[in-house]
Amino acid sequence: MSQGAPKSNRPSGQRLGLGDLASLRDGLKADAERREAERIAAEAAAQRAHEEANVFRSSIGGVNQLRDRNRVSHPPQHPAPVPVQSQLNDQAVLEASLSDEFDIENLLDTEEMSFRRPGIGLDVIRKLRRGEWVPQDKIDLHGLRREEAREALAEFLRRSVRNGVRCVRVIHGKGNGSPDKLPVLKGKVRSWLVQKEEVIAFVQARETQGGAGAVMVLLRQPRT
């Protein structure tokens, strides 16, 4: 920033003498010389920058724009989606899983080997036993291991309810092929059926439908 002429300490209203005028002239001259020196220095710095830029361009030669050939474009990395629906499905399967430790002794009519949910009348059991409910589908669990039979039965019941089937026949066998001639799956099947909410009643099948080796199952109508 330029400085002005030196201020005089003389009280205002007094005339300047020759000495004062000489001092003022010298101050103005010094200020002008300083501004000229700053201008010359700025011009010299600009000239040096220009010369250095010319040296750099001449040393690297001509410049061509890079082509896009062989250029690899990497897609943006998005976080893996959360399998919410799969988690819900797994939770539903877990909730619908069947236990082999479920006690049904106090739920079965052991004399008639039948079961009915609370609110289901005895007339339903009688009609089911007389064959008034015609089975629309069946599943044969012969030859399956316990785990396989449990999963197959659960899936069969889900599919039947989804398709609007009301009555099915579940064949578990009489145990004639087992080493000790005992019906291995008979008690398990009844226990699994009681645990399924879609099952509202079941009875042992008539002799023409498998007798002690099968059960007739009445299913709940799907909710609409």
Backbone φ, ψ for residue 219 (5° rounding): -105, 155
Task: Please check whether residue 131 lies inside any domain of the structure.
Answer: yes
**Residue holding tokens 């099915």?**
168
Residue-number span of the structural domain to which 204 is assigned: 114-219
Q: How confident is the model at residue 31 (pLDDT cuts 50, 70, 90)?
A: confident
Which stretch of 5-14, 55-64, 199-208 has the lowest confidence by average pLDDT?
5-14
On the question of pLDDT at 159 being above 70, the answer is: yes
- Mean predicted confidence (pLDDT) in 154-172: 95
Task: Please check whether residue 183 lies inside any domain of the structure.
Answer: yes
Q: Where are the beta strands (DSSP E) in the chain?
A: 115-116, 137-140, 167-171, 199-204, 214-219
Looking at the structure of the chain, the number of domains it has is: 1
Task: Please check whether residue 194 lies inside any domain of the structure.
Answer: yes
On the question of pLDDT at 34 being above 80, the answer is: yes
Q: Residues 6 or more apart from 117 whose CB is under 8 A from it? A: 199, 200, 201
Q: Residues 6 or more apart from 220 whose CB is under 8 A from it? A: 161, 197, 198, 199, 200
Which stretch of 87-96, 125-134, 171-180, 207-216 has the lowest confidence by average pLDDT?
87-96
The residue that leads in pLDDT, 82 or 117, is 117
Q: pLDDT value at position 123?
A: 92
CATH label of the domain that carries residue 137: 3.30.1370.110
Q: How confident is the model at residue 94 (pLDDT cuts 50, 70, 90)?
A: very low
On the question of pLDDT at 121 being above 80, the answer is: yes
On the question of pLDDT at 214 being above 80, the answer is: yes
Task: Please check whether residue 57 lies inside any domain of the structure.
Answer: no
On the question of pLDDT at 197 being above 80, the answer is: yes
- Mean predicted confidence (pLDDT) in 37-42: 88
The residue that leads in pLDDT, 123 or 22, is 123
Rg from Cα positions in the chain: 51
Q: How confident is the model at residue 103 (pLDDT cuts 50, 70, 90)?
A: very low
Q: How confident is the model at residue 15 (pLDDT cuts 50, 70, 90)?
A: low
Which stretch of 77-81, 92-96, 112-116 has the lowest confidence by average pLDDT?
92-96
222 three-class SS: coil
Task: Please check whether residue 4 lies inside any domain of the structure.
Answer: no
